[in-house]
Every structure is written in structure tokens, then in C-alpha cells.
Amino acid sequence: MSIISDLLGKSPFGAMVEHSKKVHECVEMIRPLMDALAEENFQLVGELHKKVSRLEYEADKIKHEVRSLLSKRLFLPVDKVDLENFLRCQDKIADYTEDFSVILTIRNTPIHPSLMDKFFRLTDQVFQVTGSLLAAAVELQNLAEVSFGGAESRRVFKWLDGLGEEEWKADRIAWDLSRDIYLLEGEVQTMTIIFYEKMILTLGQVANEAENAGDMLRHMLIR
């Protein structure tokens, strides 16, 4: 029995679900950060950055636990490489979210009034993307129990289809916002334009990695 237990080991899927939830907690901090920036409360921005850093550290600890479980488990319903790739994408979501919080602490730069609405639209849309990923990712444990098939897989495919569309919407908003930013040339400092662009690019990376994680999950289901 001990040999069988050693071969099977503890399932990593419960920990992977917890990692997905913790990563999403990081993303949930983007809106409060933007609210604080809009109010020009730069002290609060700094405090929220510290909270994001703590959440990212907690996500890292769960990530290390997942990798430890993967290394000990010989038999899994999907390829370990696919699970590692999915985990890596999730990890990058948390990393880019922390990067976004760091950017906001580097320079006390208010959001130009003409950009306010679109910045918040982008923020909310990125959250929609990661929310679609979370809805799919929390099914990982259930998927493992049915060898990544059945009704559970069909439900996850629906979430993943929605994820791609939500990421496309985020790209469109980001493109539109970038165009508005460069219309401000001559009105605001060049460094302010660069600052805004860094914000947009980092938010876009959060959404892109969420889509990449979804692609990894789709790959596991198709296999």
C-alpha cells in the first residue's frame, strides 16, 4: 500500500485551484489601486502596493507547493508539462499585477481627466478576462476526478470561449486609450505619456497571460 501511495502521491489539483484563487486576489487589487490614483491618494497607492506584494508572495508559496506535489506524483490524468505551463502563466498574472502596483508608486502622476473613463474601462475589462479564467480554473479538481472529460470539460470550454472574447475587448480598449494618450502630446510631459503607456502595457500583459493560461487549460482538455 505504501508503494502505491508513493506512486500516486497527493493530488496537486486542489493546490492549483488555491493558487488560481490567490492570483485572482492579486488582480482584484487593481481596481482599488486605480481608485486611489484617481483620487490622487498616493499614500494609499503605496499601502495597496504592499498588500499586492504580500498576496503575490502568498501565491508564490502555493506555487512552490504545487511544484513539489507535481514532482512527487508519477501518475496524472494530464501531462506534467502542460500543468507546469498553466502554472507558469498564472504566476505571470500575479507578477504583472505586482509590476502594475510598482509602476504606480514610482511617480506621483495623476490620471488626465480625458483618460479617466477609459482607464477604468480597461481596468474593469482586464478583471473580466481574469474572472473568466478563474471560473474555468476552479474546475481543475473536478476535471481531474473525471480525467478531464464529461460535463465538467464542456462547462470549462464555455468559460474558455468567453475568455478569448473578453481579452479581445481588453485589447480594443487599450488600443483606443493609447491613441487618446498620444493626442495629449504638447499638453502633458513626455514622461507622463510614457508613464500612462507603461500602465496600459502592464494591464495588457495581465490580460494576455490570463488568455495564455486559458489556452494551456484548453490544450489539456483537447488532449
Instruction: Give the integer Cα–Cα distance in Å for 44 and 34.
Output: 11
- State pLDDT tens for residues 149-173: 666 667 777 777 778 889 999 999 9
Stretch 185-189: mean pLDDT, rounded?
93
- State pLDDT tens for residues 78-108: 788 888 999 999 999 999 999 999 999 999 9
* Residue 5 covered by a domain: no
For residue 64, the tally of other CB atoms under 10 A from its CB is 12
Average per-residue pLDDT for the chain: 88
Total domain count, the chain: 1
* Residue 89 covered by a domain: yes
- State pLDDT tens for residues 56-72: 999 999 999 999 988 87
In the chain, what percentage of residues exceed pLDDT 70? 88
* Residue 70 covered by a domain: yes
pLDDT at 16 over 60: yes
* Residue 196 covered by a domain: yes
Tell me the whole-structure pTM to 2 decimals.
0.90
* Residue 6 covered by a domain: no
Give me the residues paired with residue 185 across strands: 188
* Residue 3 covered by a domain: no
* Residues of the domain holding 214: 12-222
The domain spanning residue 87 has which CATH number?
Answer: 1.20.58.220
* Residue 175 covered by a domain: yes
> How confident is the model at residue 39, as a pLDDT?
97
* Residue 2 covered by a domain: no
Stretch 185-194: mean pLDDT, rounded?
94
